[in-house]
């Protein structure tokens, strides 16, 4: 590597290789110049021809096994999510324009549309982690994608959502958050089975999807994922109360919520409700308390408990405070990891076999500052119980020129009205931040994940995509050989990625080439867009053409899944 750096400093690669196509450039790896140049070209390409995900993503994938990749991993990851954001935004806009009902748009968001918010989150978080010099090179793409997400996607989508939401506010009565305990938890208790419910404050739907896919990649966890709809306002007090066993919810004018005349704030109150309305052997815990327990202490604490509610709070704790609201995407990523680790620990240390994972509400967040035009003035003389940046609660209906007004849900057992600003706007009020908010009527705020996870393998795990070696040659006459592979089916919710370790070996199992990690994770519908071409370099030694040699395709996640193809080495 030192030699290549010396040569690179002496040569003018820009003059020598300026005509080299980007696709060819993506195959080169000897010098760091190739990575720097490819990144610059992709930045330029995205500014001119934005709709090129099918061309650009394969080029990024080819860099994974190059020698300088580790130094450019973050830059390539940022570009990947920026390209994905643009692709999913285009797909969403094409699909939802023809939808005429709110329920169809809501359902589409749960199946496909959430990809937009997920890609935006990952792109922004990845950009934050870049070195300052990398940020400078990639800033044009970041600014461009920010405008795309905020000014185009959010603006158009929320405008349409406003129009449809006024016609229907409930999309499936069976999936209302208020019915969670009766529909989901009671089934376990009725069969005398222990159930652990994990509630992560502010874990929005798209983050729940990521957690679900991370869990089900492993053989240990299986299950399915669904959505629930929160009440309006989509805030912590209402969401947390709705998830408890109850006969009635009583919304107070100060924002607190009672369950059957019992207070719901605080761990002790919630445990009392769980024991009275749910199961006498119920327990409420904070995830941070579990972190402090030894294995023996945790086992003792949960011994004999049939109903366990665990409360996890990171997203809302970070996002709801002005000094830290810009760390909300980082907090979301950390929450996904913490929940994964928590479920592993409970499985290993306490033998928990069933989990229900959900949230009290989601959130709306943009990295760019909220413009003055998006801050809706509020009459100071307005008589209201609560004034929030995403909702106003009052006894009388508020005829706001830039808001939508609805009666409070009958499930909240209070006569009143809630007014939300149109689209992604915020009410102009003092205190707190504007970029992170919740309480409103958008799917990002009201759709929460519901993961039904089992560790007993009673369900089939999500299968991996298939990968086939499609190169016809089985005789090698050169130390350097290029082989092509086809990912036979696209990545989807029914098929997860496959990771393969690829290399050549002799008859004794000794590796005789470099090892390539192939990650089959392409979502492209067209099969020719799911072809991988990789370079293998054989050890510079003598090979007997009569000996047996193999090309090995080894599943990185399953040591028993190994495919070997016989090759003849006829090197001169």
Confidence of residue 218 (pLDDT cuts 50, 70, 90): confident
Q: What is the distance of C-alpha 11 from the center of its chain?
A: 43
Backbone angles phi, psi at 82, to 5 degrees: -65, -45
- In this model, does residue 15 exceed pLDDT 60? no
Under 8 Å between Cβ of 442 and 161: yes
**Statement: 467-569 belongs to CATH 2.60.40.2550:** yes
Question: Looking at residue 46, what is its pLDDT?
Answer: 86
Separation in Å, CA 477 to CA 214, 321, 374, 507, 539: 42, 64, 66, 18, 13
Q: Would you state the structure tokens that stand for residue 569, as one six-digit string?
A: 């080495």
What string of DSSP letters covers 290-318? HHT--HHHHHHHHTT-SEEEEEEESHHHH
37-57 pLDDT, tens digit per residue, is: 888 988 988 888 666 777 888
Query: Which position has the token pair 């003792």?
Result: 300
Q: Would you state the structure tokens that stand for residue 500, as one six-digit string?
A: 């393969």
Beta pairing partners, 357: 198, 451
Lowest-pLDDT range, 325-334, 477-486, 491-500? 491-500
Q: Would you state the structure tokens that stand for residue 410, as one six-digit string?
A: 């009958």
SS3 assignment, position 72: helix
Confidence of residue 457 (pLDDT cuts 50, 70, 90): low
Under 8 Å between Cβ of 13 and 37: yes
- In this model, does residue 244 exceed pLDDT 70? yes
Just give the CATH number of 173-367+435-454. Answer: 3.40.720
In the chain, the N- to C-terminal Cα span, in Å, equals 28
Under 8 Å between Cβ of 105 and 161: yes
263-310 pLDDT, tens digit per residue, is: 999 999 999 999 999 999 999 999 999 999 999 999 999 999 999 999
Can you say whether residue 351 is alpha, beta or left, with left for phi > 0 and alpha for psi between -120 and 50 degrees? Answer: left
Domain ranges of the chain: 2-165, 173-367+435-454, 382-427, 467-569
Backbone angles phi, psi at 134, to 5 degrees: -70, -40
Tally of helices (H runs) and strands (E runs) in the chain = 20, 25
Pairing of strands 498-506, 549-555: antiparallel
Query: Which position has the token pair 């996904």?
Result: 336
HSE, side-chain direction, 13 A CA sphere, residue 171: 24
For the chain, the maximum distance between any two Cα atoms, rounded to a whole number of angstroms, is 93
Question: Looking at residue 364, what is its pLDDT?
Answer: 96
Separation in Å, CA 524 to CA 59, 79, 254, 394, 550: 14, 17, 51, 49, 30
Element (H, E) at 448: strand 447-454
Separation in Å, CA 6 to CA 9, 133, 230, 291, 556: 5, 21, 61, 50, 36
Q: Which residues of 182-201 are buried (b: 16+ CB within 10 A; e: fewer)?
A: eebbeebbeeeebbbbbbbb
Question: Looking at residue 19, what is its pLDDT?
Answer: 67
- In this model, does residue 203 exceed pLDDT 80? yes
Q: How far apart are CA 107 and CA 102, in angstroms?
A: 9
Separation in Å, CA 214 to CA 20, 111, 342, 367, 560: 39, 17, 13, 26, 21
Q: How far apart are CA 440 and CA 429, in angstroms?
A: 15
- Residue 515's nearest CA partner among 499, 502, 505, 506 is 502
Share of the chain above pLDDT 70, in %: 93
Contacts of 482 (CB under 8 A, 6+ apart): 471, 533, 534, 535, 536
Compare 296 and 524 and report the one with higher pLDDT. 296
Confidence of residue 559 (pLDDT cuts 50, 70, 90): confident
SS3 assignment, position 487: strand
Q: Would you state the structure tokens that stand for residue 218, as one six-digit string?
A: 């492993």
Beta pairing partners, 388: 391
Average pLDDT of the chain to the nearest whole number: 89
Beta pairing partners, 358: 199
């Amino acid at each position: 590597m030192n030699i290549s750096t010396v040569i690179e400093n002496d040569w003018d690669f820009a003059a020598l290789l300026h005509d080299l196509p980007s696709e060819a450039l993506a195959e080169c790896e000897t010098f760091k110049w190739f990575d720097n140049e490819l990144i610059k070209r992709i930045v330029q390409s995205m500014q001119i021809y934005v709709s090129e995900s099918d061309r650009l993503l394969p080029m990024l994938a080819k860099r994974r096994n190059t020698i300088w990749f580790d130094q450019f991993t973050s830059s390539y990851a940022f570009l990947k999510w920026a390209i994905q954001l643009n692709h999913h935004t285009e797909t969403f806009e094409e699909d939802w324009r023809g939808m005429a009902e709110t329920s169809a748009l809501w359902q589409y968001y749960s199946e496909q549309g959430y990809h937009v918010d997920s890609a935006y989150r990952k792109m922004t978080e990845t950009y934050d982690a870049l070195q300052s010099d990398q940020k400078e090179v990639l800033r044009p793409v970041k600014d461009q994608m920010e405008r795309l997400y905020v000014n185009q996607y959010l603006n158009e989508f929320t405008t349409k959502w406003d129009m449809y939401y006024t016609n229907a506010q409930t999309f499936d009565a069976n999936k209302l958050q208020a019915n969670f305990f009766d529909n989901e938890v009671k089934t376990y208790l009725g069969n005398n089975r222990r159930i652990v419910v994990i509630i992560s404050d502010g874990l929005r739907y798209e983050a729940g999807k990521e957690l679900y896919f991370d869990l089900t990649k492993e053989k240990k966890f299986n299950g399915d994922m669904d959505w629930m709809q929160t009440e309006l306002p989509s805030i912590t007090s209402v969401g947390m109360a709705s998830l408890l066993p109850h006969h009635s919810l009583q919304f107070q004018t100060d924002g607190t919520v009672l369950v059957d005349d019992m207070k719901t704030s605080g761990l002790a109150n919630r445990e009392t409700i769980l024991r009275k309305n749910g199961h006498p052997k119920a327990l409420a815990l904070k995830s941070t308390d579990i972190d402090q327990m030894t294995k023996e202490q945790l086992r003792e604490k949960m011994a004999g408990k049939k109903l366990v509610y665990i409360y996890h709070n990171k997203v809302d704790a970070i996002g709801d405070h002005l000094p830290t609201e810009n760390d909300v995407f980082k907090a979301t990523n950390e929450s996904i990891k913490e929940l994964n680790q928590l479920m592993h620990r409970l499985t290993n240390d306490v033998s928990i076999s069933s989990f229900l994972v959900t949230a009290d509400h989601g959130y709306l967040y943009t990295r760019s500052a909220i413009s003055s035009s998006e801050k809706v003035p509020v009459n100071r003389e307005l008589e209201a119980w609560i004034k929030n940046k995403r909702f106003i609660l009052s006894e009388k209906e508020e005829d706001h020129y830039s808001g939508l007004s609805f009666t409070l849900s009958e499930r909240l057992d209070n006569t009143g009205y809630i007014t939300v600003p149109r689209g992604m706007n915020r009410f102009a009020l003092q205190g707190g931040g504007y970029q992170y908010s919740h309480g409103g009527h958008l799917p990002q705020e009201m759709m929460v994940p519901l993961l039904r996870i089992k560790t007993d393998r009673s369900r089939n795990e999500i299968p991996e995509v298939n990968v086939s070696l499609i190169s016809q040659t089985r005789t090698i006459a050169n130390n350097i050989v290029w082989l092509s592979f086809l990912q036979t089916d696209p990545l989807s919710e029914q098929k997860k990625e496959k990771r393969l370790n690829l290399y050549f070996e002799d008859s004794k199992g000794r590796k005789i080439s470099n090892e390539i990690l192939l990650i089959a994770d392409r979502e492209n519908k067209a099969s020719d867009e799911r072809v991988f071409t990789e370079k293998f370099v054989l050890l510079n030694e003598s090979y007997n053409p009569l000996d047996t040699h193999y090309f090995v395709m080894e599943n990185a996640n399953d040591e028993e899944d190994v495919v070997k193809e016989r090759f003849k080495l006829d090197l001169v």
